[in-house]
Amino acid sequence: MEKKTLSIKAIFGLAAAAAVLLCSSCATAELAYISDAQRDSAQAIVNNYVSSIHPGDQLYIYVSSQTIESTIPFNEETIKSAASVTGRGATARTQTGSSSGLSGYTVNQDGCILFPVLGKINTTGMTKDSLAAHIEQRLLNEGYINDAKVTVNSMNFRVSVLGEVVRPQEIHIPGDRLTIFEALAYCGDLTIYGQRENILVLRENSGNATPVSLNLTDKSILDSPYYYLQSNDIVYVEPNDMKKKTATRDTDVPKYVAIGVNLLHIIAIGTRTASILAK
């Protein structure tokens, strides 16, 4: 009986050791963001935020002036689209900076918009600020408004986040300023299986899609032109090696190992008890 007890104990010990080795074989992943940055020290962001205009963008454009009557021809489309949604008629003109529910001006595939009175405006290579300055200058040079102030906002800024995040989704925000960390926060952050050292950002520019890898654990991310996301960017969080391995084997294996270890433990205890009683 004693020999049998020792044999079962040995089996239990081997099973427990195997379980420990199985757990310890998993590589330790870096979970902290910007882990190499010195705490309590300022980190300059080299690449200033710039949001260019792209085909497919919807723009909210509003012209203001001390002489309200002079702006009416240039705001008719904005007011009309706002009124159709809000039902508040001309009061929609007070919604400067708000793009909710408005149809706006859609940038066509040639990068142009059709603006009242001024006609076709080519926005290729422009930012929203430079487009606003361009319209202001034309209104002044062509004798329409001497003190025009033009507001240009994005109405359909969207970024898609896929892969190992808690809530994969397409993000829509007012305005157009969104960092990679803010986008991940919208999605509930990365799961434990997400590769923080290899985040893929797919960005389309002039008909070409460019994939770029970002390392969120390195402070150099703050210098990347991809730190600030652009509209229509796609962010993909790749699964780490642990997730890839579990995807290729029976996901119930860890459960079976745990059950087996528990059974061996129960048998060992029962055998030991029987041995004591036999004495």
- CATH number of the domain within which 123 lies: 3.30.1950.10
> Is pLDDT at 84 greater than 90 in this prediction?
no
Phi, psi (rounded to 5 degrees) for 203: -125, 130
Residues 6+ apart with CB under 8 A from 165: 184, 187, 188, 189, 190, 191, 194, 237
State residue 251's pLDDT score.
58
Phi, psi (rounded to 5 degrees) for 120: -75, 130
> Is pLDDT at 61 greater than 90 in this prediction?
yes
219: containing domain: 158-239
State residue 237's pLDDT score.
96
Lowest mean per-residue pLDDT among 34-43, 167-176, 238-247? 34-43
Q: Are residues 216 and 274 in the same domain?
A: no
The answer as to whether 192 is a domain residue is yes
Residues 6+ apart with CB under 8 A from 114: 105, 120, 121
Q: Are residues 75 and 141 in the same domain?
A: yes
The answer as to whether 233 is a domain residue is yes
The answer as to whether 53 is a domain residue is no
State residue 210's pLDDT score.
87
* Cα angle for residues 226, 174, 146 (degrees, 5° grid): 100
| Predicted confidence band of residue 91 (pLDDT cuts 50, 70, 90) | very low
Residues 6+ apart with CB under 8 A from 154: 51, 57, 58, 59, 60, 99, 128, 175, 176, 231
Smallest Cα–Cα separation from 136: which of 127, 128, 145, 125? 145
Q: Are residues 64 and 149 in the same domain?
A: yes
Taking all residues of the chain, what is their mean pLDDT, rounded to a whole number?
Answer: 78
Q: Are residues 235 and 167 in the same domain?
A: yes
C-alpha distances in angstroms, 277 versus 31, 124, 271, 273? 52, 90, 10, 6
The answer as to whether 46 is a domain residue is no
Distance CA 130, CA 48 (A): 15
The answer as to whether 79 is a domain residue is yes
Task: Report how many domains make up the chain.
Answer: 3
The answer as to whether 150 is a domain residue is yes
pTM > 0.75: yes or no: no
> Is pLDDT at 2 greater than 60 in this prediction?
no
Using CB atoms within 10 A of its CB, is residue 123 exposed (0-12), middle (13-18) or buried (19+)? buried
- CATH number of the domain within which 203 lies: 3.10.560.10
State residue 47's pLDDT score.
63
C-alpha distances in angstroms, 257 versus 185, 198, 232? 36, 32, 45
Of these ranges, 46-50, 76-80, 200-204, the one predicted with the greatest mean pLDDT is 200-204
For 139-178, letters b (16+ CB in 10 Å) and e give beeeebbeebebebbbbbbebebbbbbeeeeebeeeebeb
pLDDT, tens only, 194-237: 999 999 999 987 778 889 999 999 988 988 999 999 988 999 99
